Amino acid sequence: TDLRPIDIALLSIAKQSIPESQLETGNAVSIIGLTNAAATPTDVRLEAAHKAENLGLISAQQLGDIYSAVNFDPADLEDALDDAAEGVQARQYAKLYQAAAKSDVPAVRAEILAALFETAQIEGDFLQAARLCAPLVEEIPINGDFSWFAITALKTSIAVNSIERAASWLQVAKSSANPGNDISSRLSLLYPVLAISGLEDTGAPKPNDDAVQVNQDVINGATTNQPRFGLGGAVTPAPTQPSQTVDLQALTDHRSRMTEWQEIQAASSDQAAARRNAELVFNLYDGFGIEVPEGAWNSLLIAPYAEERTTISSVVNHYLRVGATGNQKAKTVAMAIQAQQIATMPNADPKALADTVAALTMVGLQADAQHLAVELLLASDR
């Protein structure tokens, strides 16, 4: 049974611990209670804090404070990379986090962070690790000496929406890629994230400055296209359409990069996951007006054609569409929040997730849409 706030308060008054079984219920009240209660065993508190940050109940900084409060033997922190992993995953994160934070040698710190991020990637915790460790990553010098760390730092910077820093790490990665390392292939694997975040030019049409102003005037209701009166009544001219420019070289490069990305997906040992990832990428591209290479969808048109998927209700989908087409930001955002509940669920429908991003774009929330799309891609990458 899920505990209520009054139950947590009564347990505290009676100096009783919250049952550890509550950790598995997903009940926010119990999770935050286990996180804050002094009587909670350390390992349980770490797991509760790990869940609480993912649910938005505590900040990444608070999670870091909890991780920093764990007592580790100094020798264990010095040998954090060589010691056997802790039995509780959150405890392992805490040990690596402390070891990285206490190291004043950038190369050592980067090595420890790389190990933490590698584990987090496997466990599906990369986004949380990025939020937690972003301040530590920011202290790593951005130069060729850390080219081996560039992809990890690049992904982390994108995850926390530090695009300027991400661009700098991207340049380090590109300039350091050669046949003797795996940087080039890792960049290819990350290409859709780079494309959607705006770090790579995909050749997608871009409105010129005048067109941007026209669109903004229409959104704000300040268009100068006043009704004209004559035979047949009032006639309102259609708003000026934005002119579009296409960078053909960028588009050619985009197609080439996507070919490389598809080849990597085709070689994946988990074809079901690769197919779902491709669906998500292609749907997101459609939402942002980025070209999906010719024939790319055809490669996914294989049996089974009917699948069980977790999707949003038709009511949420309806009002998401109504809000977007009517330029109703509040309604669109409210429905987007509801729609994103499926994001962390197994076999979530890529089309439903991408429609959410497209709706945010339609109401002018381009930056928010990009960040959400990037989070979806990074969360699906294991």
Report, as an integer, the average pLDDT of 199-203: 91
Hey, which residues does 230 pair with through a beta bridge? 233
pTM of the shown model: 0.81
The better pLDDT of the pair 37, 209 is held by 37
In tens, the pLDDT along 135-187 reads: 999 999 999 999 999 999 999 999 999 999 999 999 999 999 988 889 999 99
- Residues 6 or more apart in contact with residue 160 via CB below 8 angstroms: 130, 131, 134
The reported pLDDT for the residue numbered 10 is 66
pLDDT of residue 84: 66
Q: What angle do CA 330, 336, 340 make, to 5 degrees?
A: 150
- Label residue 15 by pLDDT band (50, 70, 90): low
**pLDDT category of residue 3 using cuts at 50, 70 and 90:** low
* Residue 369 in tokens: 């849409």
User: Which distant-in-sequence residues (6+ apart) come within 8 Å of 136 by Cβ?
Assistant: 100, 101, 109, 113
Q: Is the pLDDT of residue 14 over 80?
A: no
- Average pLDDT estimate for 194-211: 76
- Which pLDDT belongs to residue 92? 93
What's residue 258's pLDDT?
94
- Which residue from 319, 366, 323 is spatially nearest to 216, judged by alpha carbons? 366
C-beta of residue 23 within 8 angstroms of C-beta of residue 51: yes
Q: What is the pLDDT of residues 82-109, one digit of tens each?
A: 776 777 899 999 999 999 999 989 999 9
Strand 244-245 with 206-207, pairing: antiparallel
Residue 12 clears pLDDT 70, i.e. is over it: no
- Mean of pLDDT values over 227-247: 50
Mode of pairing for the β-strands spanning 233-235 and 228-230: antiparallel
The string of pLDDT tens digits covering residues 273-297 is 888 889 999 999 988 889 998 888 8
**Residue 238 gets which letter from DSSP?**
P
d(Cα 93, Cα 298) in Å, to the nearest integer? Answer: 42
Give me the pLDDT at residue 117, please.
96
What's the confidence (pLDDT) of residue 218? 36
Question: How high is the pLDDT of residue 227?
Answer: 46
pLDDT of residue 231 exceeding 60, the answer is no
Task: Cis check for the bond before 192: say yes or no (omega within 30 of 0).
Answer: no
Which amino acid type is present at position 54? N
End-to-end CA distance of the chain: 33
Local confidence band at 246 (pLDDT 50, 70, 90 cut-offs) = low
CA distance 20 to 7: 14
What percentage of the chain carries pLDDT values higher than 70?
84
Q: Measured between alpha carbons, how far is 236 from 253 in angstroms, rounded to an integer?
A: 42
For the cut 70, the answer to whether the pLDDT of residue 1 exceeds it is: no
- In sequence order, what DSSP letters do the residues of 136-164 get, joined into one string? HHTTS--SGGGGGGHHHHHHHHHHTT-HH
- For residues 285 and 369, the answer to whether their CB atoms sit within 8 Å is no
For residues 337-356, give the mean pLDDT. Answer: 83
What are the distances in angstroms from CA 229 to CA 58, 184, 218, 221, 226? Answer: 59, 62, 21, 20, 10
- Given a contact cutoff of 8 angstroms between Cβ atoms, the answer to whether 113 and 148 are in contact is no
Summary mean pLDDT of the chain: 84
